[in-house]
Chains A and B, each alone.
Chain A
């Protein structure tokens, strides 16, 4: 015998479910409004994929903000071409990224897809979009995207994971450091970051004492730091993807008292703004090799930082700057083609874009669609208002994805991995 109260509850529950179902069904009919535009005169429709939910939501949100800021500052136009963007969230998962790319191409009929950021999502999206004969613009680091897996429909407005670390290896040796230890996360980004440093350092004449690989999401870095200390090298290179790993590593590093004993050199993403906000004072004077420096003495960078800070109350990250630069290159290419986006022709036009100044500095592209641009040696300093940021100390101009080796020789090596870092 069921009490009547229960029955009433069940009926209420059924009602709730029915209402939910009807609401879902009703909203299903909604998204057909904006089918106009697209092909008609002077408008292009672009797709933009980044992870705004999930474990890398912070990066994706910054990307979206950077992208929006460029079009905002330019009135949503490239020359007289009106640019319309459809945003999608990939949640950091390649399966989702691929399906979202399908939606953008097949349903929204976008003419170009930009993003996403993680290597696996980028490969999944680029493979599909290029397979449909449409151009895609990427900013992910995965080396092979513009190397051994080069596709004429894929342009990278960004640096490979190893690219900015070649000057780091060379520079470290020239500073008189004969031995080094590298510490990198144990997955593709880390292998490629360390590969850049190691190959250049060894080529210059240095010796790698030890390569320490830590799993992504390490909580306790003491064993890894202890390994580095035991090897007692002249210099330590850390190739981090940022986030908690970078912060926890550095806490361990300073805890061991190594801050003033062994020089530490970071990659693009080690001492980023998230890191500086968390670590504070202790981060002063840290040196990094990167292509994005928020404190670089350039009117363009400072205008961008100011506008971004006004809107979002924080200093823009590498990801915001990267998406902004993607938008800028696409806009320049659109001006060249008169608003036409036709497969390889568009990518060829984009590759011809040469910026005398961008957020990254003077940019050109090589013939496998990757950036050739400056790398900066930066140092963490205090801004006038007391905020920590990185300022440029030295510029290495026109760094190529192939380092100093040249394309053919470089492509003979396998891609950097745990087993091959160019030693």
Chain B
């Protein structure tokens, strides 16, 4: 194994060790923030899947997450068991994802963005209006996590594990022929069409897959707060997911995690001390866009590439 490979393995081991050790060394509140970070990172990853591979930026993904969240919350409140609740969440997520996919699969760029924006707002409106199902603005109370992950530290491990599993799937997908097809579509739609790919069908599937990850994030979110209200589908949630992706690095595997860390830190920790934490977050976003257009992880990867390549150049 090369030195770089070893460094990668060591970093991975250190990362996993840190994640496992966290609840034993950190106070419970900080651990609950880490839980939120993993959930935000998962939602951002679902946006990143479309944005990074296929170049489709969705600004309405909180709507899909909300479908998963409302599915599981509604089922739990109505006394359904865990498998049934997850079934309802999956069915609702699928239904909403299909609507997203059907309405956007023939578009790209700004049109895609606008339609997803409209869809996100539609879901928000429905959550607000269908009060007999969603509880309207008052929300759904009485949502409970499954017993085996009831404690805060259990739930933290569960969230981290779900995120880890999703990360593996995402990594595999990005290298798969399907991932390459999506990249091809991003680079040139017309060329992919002339090569015989059905661009529309590929996009349709990609949106469903991305929706599945968003739905997972929604379920985790509902279980985390044990309460649900329409703001889970709000525009600001969708927009924050895009901010996370941009700050972390579009198209990078770990970008959403880094971005989520920064956003969660700003939203929950900085805001206790600075009233204008959004301004600070905005400044960070501007700095990143100006000086690290590929995001923090993208920028670091570039830096690492430069460092490892330089000695070789000097040697030859």
Chain B residues with CB under 8 A of A16 = 287, 291
Partner of A95, one of B231, B271, B275, B290: B231
Tell me, in angstroms, the Cα distance from A9 to B293 when the chains sit together: 13
Q: Which of B5-13, B154-162, B179-187, B219-227 contacts A (4 or more CB under 8 A)?
A: B219-227
* Chain A CB within 8 A of B284 CB: yes
Assuming the contacts A13-B287, A17-B287, A124-B229, asked whether A95 and B221 have C-beta atoms less than 8 A apart, the reply is: yes
Tell me, in angstroms, the Cα distance from A417 to B98 when the chains sit together: 31
Across the interface, do B225 and A186 meet the contact criterion of CB distance under 8 Å?
Answer: no
* Chain B CB within 8 A of A364 CB: no
Q: Which of A149-203 contact B (CB under 8 A)?
A: 149, 186-189, 191
Q: How far is the CB of A242 from chain B (nearest CB, A)?
A: 15
Assuming the contacts A88-B272, A418-B131, asked whether A188 and B136 have C-beta atoms less than 8 A apart, the reply is: yes
A252-293 CB contact bits vs B (8 Å, 1 = yes)?
A: 000000000000000000000000000000000000000000
Q: How far is the CB of A118 from chain B (nearest CB, A)?
A: 8
Tell me, in angstroms, the Cα distance from A191 to B138 when the chains sit together: 11
Across the interface, do B291 and A142 meet the contact criterion of CB distance under 8 Å?
Answer: no
Across the interface, do B275 and A52 meet the contact criterion of CB distance under 8 Å?
Answer: yes
Assuming the contacts A95-B221, A96-B268, asked whether A27 and B273 have C-beta atoms less than 8 A apart, the reply is: yes
Partner of A123, one of B36, B138, B236, B275: B138
* Chain A CB within 8 A of B87 CB: no
A66-100 CB contact bits vs B (8 Å, 1 = yes)?
A: 00000000000000000000001101111110111
Most chain A CB neighbours (cut-off 10 Å) among B221, B229, B290? B229
Across the interface, do A142 and B267 meet the contact criterion of CB distance under 8 Å?
Answer: no
* Chain A CB within 8 A of B170 CB: no
Chain B residues with CB under 8 A of A118 = 137
* Chain A CB within 8 A of B141 CB: yes
Across the interface, do A99 and B268 meet the contact criterion of CB distance under 8 Å?
Answer: yes
* Chain A CB within 8 A of B194 CB: no
Tell me, in angstroms, the Cα distance from A16 to B233 when the chains sit together: 35
Across the interface, do A123 and B272 meet the contact criterion of CB distance under 8 Å?
Answer: no
Q: How far is the CB of A217 from chain B (nearest CB, A)?
A: 11
Chain A residues with CB under 8 A of B226 = 127-128
Most chain B CB neighbours (cut-off 10 Å) among A31, A119, A123, A186? A123
Partner of A106, one of B28, B234, B292: B28
Chain A residues with CB under 8 A of B273 = 27, 30-31
Across the interface, do B268 and A100 meet the contact criterion of CB distance under 8 Å?
Answer: yes
Across the interface, do B225 and A95 meet the contact criterion of CB distance under 8 Å?
Answer: yes
Across the interface, do B27 and A106 meet the contact criterion of CB distance under 8 Å?
Answer: yes
Across the interface, do B141 and A123 meet the contact criterion of CB distance under 8 Å?
Answer: yes
Across the interface, do A106 and B29 meet the contact criterion of CB distance under 8 Å?
Answer: yes
Assuming the contacts A91-B271, A96-B267, A96-B268, asked whether A120 and B287 have C-beta atoms less than 8 A apart, the reply is: no
Q: What bracket does the count of chain B residues touching chain A fall in?
A: 35 or more
Across the interface, do B32 and A120 meet the contact criterion of CB distance under 8 Å?
Answer: no
Name which residue of chain A comes closest to B270, CB basis.
Answer: A24
Chain B residues with CB under 8 A of A10 = 291
Tell me, in angstroms, the Cα distance from A10 to B287 when the chains sit together: 11
Chain A residues with CB under 8 A of B32 = 99, 102, 106
Q: Which of B240-280 contact A (CB under 8 A)?
A: 265, 267-269, 271-273, 275-278
Number of interface residues of A (CB under 8 A): 47
* Chain B CB within 8 A of A103 CB: yes
Across the interface, do A188 and B141 meet the contact criterion of CB distance under 8 Å?
Answer: no
User: What's the A-B contact tally at a CB cutoff of 8 Å?
Assistant: 112
Across the interface, do B268 and A94 meet the contact criterion of CB distance under 8 Å?
Answer: no
Chain B residues with CB under 8 A of A106 = 27-29, 32
* Chain A CB within 8 A of B2 CB: no
Chain A residues with CB under 8 A of B205 = none
Assuming the contacts A94-B225, A123-B139, A188-B137, asked whether A107 and B29 have C-beta atoms less than 8 A apart, the reply is: yes
Q: How far is the CB of B230 from chain A (nearest CB, A)?
A: 8
Q: How far is the CB of A371 from chain B (nearest CB, A)?
A: 19
Across the interface, do A186 and B129 meet the contact criterion of CB distance under 8 Å?
Answer: yes
Name which residue of chain A comes closest to B303, CB basis.
Answer: A14
Tell me, in angstroms, the Cα distance from A252 to B110 when the chains sit together: 36
* Chain B CB within 8 A of A218 CB: no
Q: How far is the CB of A115 from chain B (nearest CB, A)?
A: 15
Across the interface, do A99 and B139 meet the contact criterion of CB distance under 8 Å?
Answer: no
Across the interface, do B287 and A103 meet the contact criterion of CB distance under 8 Å?
Answer: no
Chain A residues with CB under 8 A of B227 = 94, 98, 123-124, 127-128
Most chain B CB neighbours (cut-off 10 Å) among A28, A107, A119, A120? A120
Chain A residues with CB under 8 A of B141 = 123, 127, 149
Name which residue of chain B comes closest to A125, CB basis.
Answer: B227
Tell me, in angstroms, the Cα distance from A209 to B32 when the chains sit together: 51
Across the interface, do B131 and A188 meet the contact criterion of CB distance under 8 Å?
Answer: yes
B1-42 CB contact bits vs A (8 Å, 1 = yes)?
A: 000000000000000000000000001111011001000000
Q: How far is the CB of B63 from chain A (nearest CB, A)?
A: 16
Q: Which of B277-314 contact A (CB under 8 A)?
A: 277-278, 284, 287, 290-292
Name which residue of chain B comes closest to A10, CB basis.
Answer: B291
Across the interface, do A417 and B231 meet the contact criterion of CB distance under 8 Å?
Answer: no
Q: Which of B131-151 contact A (CB under 8 A)?
A: 131-132, 136-139, 141
Tell me, in angstroms, the Cα distance from A106 to B28 when the chains sit together: 7
Q: A188-B136, A418-B131 are known contacts; what are 14 more A-B pairs with Cβ within 8 Å? A: A13-B287, A14-B291, A52-B275, A53-B278, A89-B275, A95-B225, A100-B268, A107-B30, A119-B138, A120-B138, A124-B227, A187-B137, A189-B137, A191-B131
Ranked 8 nearest A-B pairs via Cβ: A13-B291, A120-B229, A106-B29, A188-B137, A107-B29, A187-B137, A124-B227, A120-B139
Give me 16 A-to-B residue pairs in the complex whose CB atoms sit less than 8 angstroms apart, sorted by A's number. Answer: A16-B287, A17-B291, A17-B292, A31-B272, A53-B275, A53-B278, A94-B229, A95-B225, A96-B268, A103-B29, A106-B28, A119-B139, A120-B231, A123-B138, A186-B129, A187-B137
- B contacts, CB < 8 Å to A: 27-30, 32-33, 36, 128-129, 131-132, 136-139, 141, 221, 225-227, 229-232, 234, 236, 265, 267-269, 271-273, 275-278, 284, 287, 290-292
